[in-house]
C-alpha cells in the first residue's frame, strides 16, 4: 500500500494562516479565470484537433507524474505544464485553465492528495497561466495566428514563460512558508535549481509544440520523445542528488543530508524559540560503536558490513518519525532529534538507542556484542550551527568513551580543542622552538643556561647540536601535573569572597579549621616542638601555584621577573621549578621533583594540567620532552659542580613509555653532561602502565638497565597496584596526596596510607608521601614508617636559584618520639 503523503496535513498552530493563504490564492484564481472559462463553452466547437490532442496528452501524462525521491521532496514534475502552456499560447487562457484543472484533479487522485491540496494546485496553476497571458498580451498580439514569427514574438513567449515560473514558484514557496514556518528565502533558494531545470524545460518546449501543431496535429505526439527526455533528465538528476545524500551500505542519509537537515531544523527551532514555544530544542546525537574494529579484524570486513546494516536497522526502529538517522562513515551514526523540551528529552532518546544496541547481533550463528558511546549536543545551548553542534557532540562522545560510560552531554570543561587552546598550543610550540633564553641552539657552548636560567659553566656545556630539531624524542606528559593538585592561592582582599572560596575548597577549609596549610605553613620554617628553625621555603610569605604544576593562580613574582604582557607575539617563558623531597627521620633533603611552569605574556602562569592536556595529543609533546629532559639534566650538572648532590624526579607520560625513545634521549644527555644515572628518577603512573603494559615494561627495563630509578606515582589510585609492584623494577612508590591530605581527619585515609607504607616496605621499596601540608600529617607519616615527604610543610616549588638559597638556610627537622599528636585518628 502506498504511503500517505505527509504534506496532506497542516501542523498545529499554522492552520489559520495557511488556509487563509490558500483561500486568497483560490479567490485570485477565480477572479482572473472566471471570464475566460465562461466563454469557453461557446468556443469548444471551433477548437481544432491539435487542441484536443494536447488536452488528452496533458491529462494522460499527469496520471503518472515524476515524484523525486528523498526525505525533503522537491515539487513533482507534471508533464501537463508543457501542454497547457502551449494551449495558452495557441488558444488562450480559458482552454489552458480548463485542461490544467482536469489534469490536476487526475494527478491528485492518482497521488492521493487531499481535496484542499488539489484545489490549491489548480488555483496556483490558474494564477501562473494568467500571469503568462498578461505578458503575451503585452506583445504584438496574434502569436501563432499565422505569418512569420519575429523577435518580438519570441521575447513575448520567453517573458510569458518567466512570468508563469515566477508566479507558480512564488505561490508554492509562500504556501510552504505559511504551512511549515521557517525563513522564506532559504526555502526558495534550496529548490530553485531543480525547478529551473525541470519546469523550465517543459515551458520552453511548449512553443515548439505549438509550431508543430500549426503544421499538423499528427506531429504533436512526437513531442512525447523530447518530453520523455526531460522526464528522464529530471529523474536522473534527482536520483543522483538523492544517492549523493545516502550511505551506499545502509541506505541511511549521509553527512551531506545530515548537514542539510540540521541547517533546516535550526531555522525552524529558532522561530519556535522566538515565539517562546517549549519544544524549541534540537539535539544532535553522535554514536560510535564499541569493539567494531575487533569484529573487522577477527571476522573480516564483509561481516563488519553486515553488522553495520543490522545496527542501522535497529537504530532506525527506535528513532522517531520526525527524527533523522544518518551514517557518517565507519562505525559512526548521527541522529537529529527535533522538537525537544530540553536535555532530559535528548537523554531519553539516547537511552532508547542504548537499549537497541544492548542485545547481541547474531550473524551466522555467532552472537556479537555491540555497544556504543553517545555524545549529545543541544541547540541552542551548545551551538547554533551544524559545525559547532557536530564538534561538541563529538567531544561529548569521546568524553563518554573515556569515562567508560554510554551517554554524555557536552560540557565545556571536557572540550580540550577549543580555539583558545589551539592558540595556546601554537604559543607553546613557538616558545619551545625559540629555545631557552641564552641558549645558542647548538652552535656553540657560550651562554648555555641551566633549567633555572642561570649560566652553565663551559666545562659542563653540552656538545654542539644537542636538542636540535633533527633529534626525535617523545612527549613529556605531566611533570608534576597532579591529578589532585593543591589549589591554594593568595588571600583575596575582599573578606566575603575569601570566606566563600575557603568554604568551597576542601584544602582551604581544612587549613582554616586547623590553622595550618599553605596560607600558614608549619614546618622547617616555623618553630616546632623540638627546636626553632630559621625560615625556609615553607615559611615564605608569597603564595604559590601549589605542590604540582596543576595550579594556575597568581602569586608574588621573584625579583626581576616580569608579570605584565611582553611585546606582541612573545610566547612567554618556560622554566622548571623544583620542590624538595625530605627524609622524614633525618630531615635531610634527598631529592627534588621537577615541575613545569610556563609564564604566558597575556595569561600569566598557565595551569600546567591545561598545558599538558593541550600538548599531549600533538607533536609539540616531543619538543616539550626534549626541553624538560635537557633542562633538568643540565641543572643536575650545575648543582653537582656547585657541590649539591640531589636526585631529580620527572613525571613521564604514556607516550614517552610507548615509543622507548626517551631511554635513548636520557642516556645521551646523562653521558654528555657527566651526570650519574642514579641522580635521575622517572615517575610513572598506573594509568600509563595500563595503556600498553608490554611496551611500557620494555621501556622501563631499558631505563633500569641504564641506572635510572623508576618510581610509581599516585600509588593507590590505579587498578592493579599489586601486579605492578611485583613485576616492575621499581625503587620507590609515591602515596597519592588525595590520601595524605585526609590522614589527620579521616581514619580510612590514615589506614590506607599505613597499609601502603607497610606493603611497600615489605617489598623493599622507598615510600614518598606527597601533599604533606601540616605538622600532624608529618608526624603521622613518621609514625607509620614513611621514608620521604614532599609538600608545603617543607617548601613550595621554586626556581633553581631560589632552591639553592633555600638549601643554604635550611636546617633539618627531626620528629620527636611518638606522642599524642602522632597517633592516628580512631576508626569508626
Q: Which of 770, 773, 775, 802 is catalytic?
A: 770
Burial class (CB in 10 A: 0-12, 13-18, 19+), 437: exposed
* Cell numbers given for 153: 514574438
Residue with cell 595500563: 690
Residue with cell 650538572: 637
CA distance 347 to 524: 54
Is the CB of residue 518 less than 8 Å from the CB of residue 511?
yes
Q: How many residues does the chain have?
A: 828
CA dist list (Å): 311 to 245, 352, 355, 486, 823 = 20, 13, 12, 47, 60
CA dist list (Å): 36 to 59, 98, 101 = 20, 10, 14
Cα dihedral across residues 629, 632, 634, 637: positive or negative: negative
CA distance 193 to 352: 39
CA distance 574 to 622: 15
State phi, psi for 628 to the nearest 5 degrees. Answer: -65, -45
Is the CB of residue 575 less than 8 Å from the CB of residue 582?
no
Other CB atoms closer than 10 Å to residue 26's CB: what's the count?
18
CA angle at 754 for the pair 749 and 756, rounded to the nearest 5°: 95
Is the CB of residue 238 less than 8 Å from the CB of residue 69?
yes
Q: Which of 595, 545, 599, 549 is nearest to 570 (CA)?
A: 599
Other CB atoms closer than 10 Å to residue 678's CB: what's the count?
12
- Using left for φ > 0, alpha for ψ between -120 and 50, and beta otherwise, residue 398 falls in alpha
CA distance 509 to 616: 33
List of long-range contacts for 561-564, beta carbons under 8 Å, 24+ apart: 561/599, 563/604
CA distance 268 to 273: 9
Residues forming a β-bridge with 375: 286, 408
Q: Which of 387, 425, 487 is nearest to 624 (CA)?
A: 425
SS3 content of the chain, % helix, strand, coil (to 5): 55, 15, 35
CA distance 555 to 552: 9
The reply to whether 351 belongs to the active site is no
CA distance 608 to 623: 16
**Coil, helix or strand for 420?**
helix
Q: Which of 65, 69, 5, 67 is nearest to 241 (CA)?
A: 69
**Coil, helix or strand for 733?**
strand
Does residue 380 have a cis bond before it (omega within 30 degrees)? yes
The conformation of residue 337, written as its DSSP 8-state character, comes to E
Is the CB of residue 649 less than 8 Å from the CB of residue 711?
yes
State phi, psi for 789 to the nearest 5 degrees. Answer: -125, 155
CA distance 139 to 152: 7
CA distance 238 to 367: 40
Q: Which of 385, 389, 360 is nearest to 377 (CA)?
A: 389
Is the CB of residue 209 less than 8 Å from the CB of residue 174?
no
Write out the catalytic residue numbers. 770
Amino acid at each position: 500500500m502506498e504511503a500517505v503523503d505527509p504534506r496532506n496535513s497542516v501542523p498545529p498552530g499554522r492552520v489559520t494562516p495557511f488556509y487563509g493563504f490558500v483561500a486568497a490564492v483560490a479567490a485570485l484564481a477565480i477572479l482572473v479565470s472566471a471570464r475566460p472559462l465562461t466563454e469557453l463553452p461557446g468556443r469548444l466547437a471551433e477548437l481544432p484537433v491539435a487542441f484536443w490532442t494536447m488536452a488528452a496528452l496533458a491529462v494522460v501524462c499527469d496520471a503518472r507524474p515524476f515524484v523525486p525521491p528523498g526525505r525533503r521532496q522537491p515539487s513533482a514534475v507534471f508533464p501537463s505544464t508543457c501542454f497547457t502552456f502551449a494551449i495558452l499560447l495557441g488558444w488562450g487562457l480559458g482552454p489552458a485553465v480548463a485542461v490544467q484543472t482536469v489534469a490536476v484533479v487526475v494527478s491528485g487522485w492518482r497521488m492521493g492528495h487531499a481535496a484542499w491540496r488539489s484545489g490549491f494546485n489548480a488555483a496556483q496553476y490558474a494564477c501562473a497561466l494568467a500571469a503568462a497571458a498578461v505578458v503575451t498580451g503585452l506583445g504584438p498580439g496574434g502569436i501563432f495566428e499565422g505569418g512569420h514569427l519575429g523577435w518580438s514574438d519570441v521575447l513575448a513567449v520567453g517573458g510569458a514563460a518567466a512570468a508563469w515560473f515566477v508566479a507558480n514558484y512564488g505561490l508554492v514557496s509562500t504556501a510552504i512558508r505559511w504551512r511549515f514556518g521557517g525563513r522564506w528565502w532559504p526555502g526558495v533558494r534550496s529548490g530553485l535549481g531543480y525547478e529551473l531545470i525541470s519546469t523550465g524545460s517543459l515551458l520552453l518546449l511548449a512553443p515548439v509544440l505549438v509550431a508543430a501543431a500549426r503544421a499538423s496535429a499528427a506531429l504533436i505526439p512526437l513531442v512525447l520523445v523530447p518530453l520523455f527526455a526531460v522526464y528522464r533528465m529530471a529523474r536522473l538528476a534527482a536520483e543522483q542528488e538523492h544517492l549523493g545524500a545516502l550511505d551506499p551500505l545502509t541506505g541511511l542519509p549521509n553527512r551531506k543530508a545530515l548537514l542539510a537537515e540540521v541547517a533546516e531544523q535550526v531555522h525552524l527551532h529558532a522561530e519556535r524559540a522566538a515565539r517562546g514555544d517549549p519544544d524549541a530544542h534540537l539535539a544532535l546525537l553522535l554514536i560510535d560503536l564499541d569493539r567494531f574494529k575487533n569484529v573487522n579484524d577477527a571476522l573480516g570486513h564483509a561481516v563488519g558490513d553486515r553488522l553495520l546494516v543490522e545496527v542501522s536497522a535497529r537504530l532506525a526502529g527506535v528513532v522517531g518519525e520526525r527524527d533523522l538517522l544518518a551514517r557518517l562513515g565507519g562505525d559512526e551514526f548521527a541522529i537529529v532529534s527535533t522538537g525537544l523540551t530540553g536535555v532530559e528529552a535528548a537523554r531519553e532518546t539516547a537511552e532508547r538507542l542504548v537499549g537497541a544496541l544492548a542485545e547481541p547481533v547474531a550473524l551466522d550463528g555467532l552472537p556479537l556484542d555491540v555497544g556504543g558511546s553517545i555524545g549529545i549536543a543541544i541547540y541552542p545551548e551548545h551551538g547554533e550551527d551544524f559545525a559547532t553542534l557536530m564538534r561538541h557532540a563529538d567531544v561529548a562522545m569521546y568524553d563518554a568513551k573515556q569515562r567508560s560510560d554510554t551517554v554524555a552531554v557536552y560540557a565545556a570543561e571536557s572540550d580540550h580543542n577549543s580555539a583558545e587552546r589551539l592558540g595556546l598550543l601554537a604559543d607553546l610550540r613557538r616558545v619551545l622552538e625559540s629555545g631557552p633564553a641564552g641558549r645558542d641552539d647548538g652552535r656553540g657552548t657560550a651562554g648555555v643556561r641551566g633549567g633555572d636560567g642561570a649560566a652553565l659553566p663551559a666545562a659542563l656545556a653540552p656538545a654542539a647540536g644537542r636538542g636540535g630539531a633533527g633529534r626525535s624524542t617523545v612527549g613529556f606528559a605531566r611533570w608534576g601535573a597532579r591529578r589532585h593538585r593543591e589549589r591554594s592561592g593568595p588571600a583575596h582582599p575582599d573578606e566575603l569572597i575569601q570566606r566563600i572560596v575557603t568554604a568551597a575548597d576542601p584544602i582551604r577549609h581544612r587549613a582554616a579549621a586547623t590553622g595550618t596549610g599553605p596560607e600558614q605553613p608549619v614546618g622547617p620554617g616555623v618553630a616546632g616542638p623540638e627546636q626553632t628553625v630559621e625560615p625556609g621555603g615553607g615559611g615564605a610569605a608569597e603564595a604559590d601555584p601549589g605542590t604540582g604544576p596543576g595550579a594556575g593562580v597568581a602569586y608574588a613574582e621573584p625579583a626581576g621577573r616580569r608579570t605584565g604582557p611582553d611585546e606582541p607575539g612573545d610566547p612567554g617563558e618556560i622554566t622548571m621549578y623544583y620542590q624538595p623531597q625530605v627524609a622524614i627521620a633525618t630531615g635531610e633533603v634527598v631529592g627534588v621533583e621537577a615541575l613545569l611552569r610556563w609564564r604566558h605574556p597575556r595569561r600569566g602562569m598557565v595551569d600546567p594540567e591545561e598545558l599538558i592536556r593541550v600538548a599531549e595529543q600533538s607533536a609539540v609533546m616531543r619538543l616539550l620532552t626534549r626541553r624538560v629532559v635537557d633542562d633538568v639534566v643540565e641543572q643536575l650538572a650545575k648543582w653537582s659542580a656547585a657541590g649539591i648532590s640531589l636526585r631529580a624526579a620527572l613525571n613521564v607520560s604514556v607516550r614517552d613509555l610507548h615509543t622507548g625513545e626517551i631511554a635513548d634521549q636520557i642516556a645521551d644527555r646523562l653521558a654528555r653532561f657527566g651526570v650519574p644515572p642514579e641522580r635521575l628518577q622517572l615517575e610513572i603512573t598506573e594509568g600509563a602502565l595500563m595503556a600498553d603494559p608490554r611496551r611500557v615494561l620494555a621501556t622501563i627495563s631499558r631505563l633500569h638497565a641504564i641506572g635510572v630509578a623508576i618510581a610509581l606515582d599516585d600509588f593507590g589510585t590505579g587498578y592493579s597496584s599489586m601486579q605492578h609492584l611485583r613485576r616492575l623494577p621499581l625503587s620507590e612508590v609515591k602515596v597519592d596526596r588525595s590520601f595524605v591530605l585526609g590522614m589527620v581527619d579521616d581514619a580510612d585515609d590514615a589506614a590506607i596510607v599505613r597499609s601502603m607504607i607497610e606493603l611497600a616496605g615489605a617489598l623493599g621499596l622507598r615510600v614518598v608521601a606527597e601533599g604533606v601540608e601540616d605538622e600532624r600529617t608529618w608526624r603521622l607519616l613518621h609514625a607509620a614508617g614513611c621514608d620521604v615527604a614532599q609538600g608545603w610543610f617543607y617548601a613550595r616549588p621554586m626556581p633553581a636559584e631560589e632552591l639553592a638559597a633555600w638549601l643554604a638556610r635550611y636546617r633539618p627537622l627531626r620528629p620527636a618520639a611518638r606522642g599524642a599528636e602522632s597517633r592516628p585518628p580512631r576508626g569508626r
